[in-house]
Amino acid sequence: MGSPYADPLLDPLFTTAEAADAFGPRARLQGMLDFEAALARAEARAGVVPAAAVPAIAAACDAALYDLDALGAEAALAGNTAIPMVGHLTRKVAEADAEAARFVHWGATSQDAMDTGLVLQLHRYCDGLEADLARLADGLAALADRHRATPMVARTWLQHALPTSFGLKAAVLLDALGRDRQRLAAARGRLALQFGGAAGTLAALGDAGLRVAAALAAELSLPLPALPWHSSRDRVAEIAAALAILAGTLGTLGRDVSLMMQMEVGEAFEPAGPGRGGSSTMPHKRNPVSCAVLLATASRAPALAGGLLAAQVQEHERGLGGWHAEWQALPELARLVAGATRHAAGLVAGLTVDAERMRANLDLTRGLIMAEAVTMALGERLGRMAAHERVAEASRRAAAEGRRLRDLLAEDPAVAAVLDGAALDALFDPLHYTGSAAAFIDRALAGHRGG
């Protein structure tokens, strides 16, 4: 079997073999053929077509039997891929059973085959994506638990703010990923059978339409919607939006890790390995390869999702152009997100955390990062404004003179009168000023474990 990648030079970086295969041209055709085989079985069960017609139709519903290039050339004239597919399928069935060929695609329309085929592809894709999401979530949970007491700088507007823990940083991402998985599961649950016939009424099947629809949904193990959804594209828009939001979460992971990987920061690093993250000219380089993929996906996903949201506007009972806009955009979005998720799972599983560097970076400002902690403690004794003024003045002197804030405060008689050396030492311990971080980590872990 050949490579599933359409672009063997770039696809291995940006997607997974499983996602590429799930949305490859052969899989697209097989999804439509699976619909046709299931339709024949369902109609035979409902007494609409003779049971004798089913074996020949089912046997011909194998994508390997068809020339994709020929189908594509005909689709360029017909306007969609289902029309030539039905013609080729009918001829293939006729070779084995001319009578059975009369019942190919009975009572259905092109969009029924294409949309249901897409839904089947998406369900298969979601299975693979969820496996990587689960691995990523487990990795984040392990980091959150392992580093709950690893202090580091919390940065706001890219500047030092207050102490936090690396465990909380991982827990925040874990919590967001949990919501992403919930959104995807909900969207997947609404990916249902499409079966409405030419104008969404199943008129060609007379009073057997609803029976056939129910049997067809059962054959394909798909939800049976209340009505056909030819022009109601919220299901497609919803899965696209969920994937794009997930891409944003992954991009946040990529942004933070890439910033921590800078040599000037040096707090965390992507996994290293032969051939990974090197430079064509600089042997010393260790580039954040996975982070680049996460950020690229986060950059591309909104435009793809935006196009799919715009495509929701459809005309009457069958859209013109909007439906067509989905055919390439949704698979591209899905492939990108699958690749980014795989990269993220590997990144987190092999992340190198430099706890000593994190602690050292907390001391870069010579204690200024603890100014709020001291102000709050002093405020209980001197009043908020008086405490703020004394700490602010000491902070200005510390920055100007290159001295430690703790030492300057110890020299202040008003401070020394209410805070002795041991109290000041405790106030300048970053782990004593991480607030509810441990409790937040526990909440995120409980949510991950279903507790």
Q: Which residues are catalytic?
A: 279, 318
Instruction: Say if residue 214 is exposed, middle or buried (CB neighbours under 10 Å; 0-12, 13-18, 19+).
Output: middle
318 close to 225: Cβ distance less than 8 angstroms: no
Q: How far apart are CA 169 and CA 349, in angstroms?
A: 15
User: Is residue 117 within 8 Å of 124, Cβ to Cβ?
Assistant: no
From 197, 223, 219, select the one nearest 44 (Cα to Cα): 219
Q: What is the secondary structure of 138-190 as a DSSP string?
A: HHHHHHHHHTTT-EEEEEETTEEEEEEEHHHHHHHHHHHHHHHHHHHHHHHHT
Residue pair 32/85 in contact (Cβ under 8 Å)? The answer is yes
3-state secondary structure of 367: coil
Q: Which residues face 152 on adjacent strands?
A: 164
Query: Residue 331 CB: number of other CB atoms within 10 A?
Result: 23
Pairwise CA distance, residues 77 & 163, whole Å: 63
H or E segment at 369?
none
- DSSP bridge partners of 153: 163
31 close to 313: Cβ distance less than 8 angstroms: no
Q: How far is CA 151 from the centre of its chain?
A: 29
Specify the residue for token string 């594509």: 72
User: H or E segment at 60?
Assistant: helix 54-60
Cα atoms found within 13 Å of the Cα of residue 316, Cβ hemisphere only: 4
Q: Using an 8 Å Cβ cutoff, are 353 and 260 in contact?
A: no
Cβ–Cβ < 8 Å for 254, 293: yes
The percent of the chain in helix, strand and coil, each rounded to the nearest 5, is 70, 5, 30
Q: Which two tokens stand for residue 101?
A: 């060929």
Compute the distance between CA of residue 359 and CA of residue 149 in angstroms, rounded to an integer: 11
Which stretches of 198-317 are assigned E, i.e. beta strand? 268-269
| Lookup: tokens for 36 | 């046709």
d(CA 270, CA 349): 9
Greatest CA separation for the chain: 103
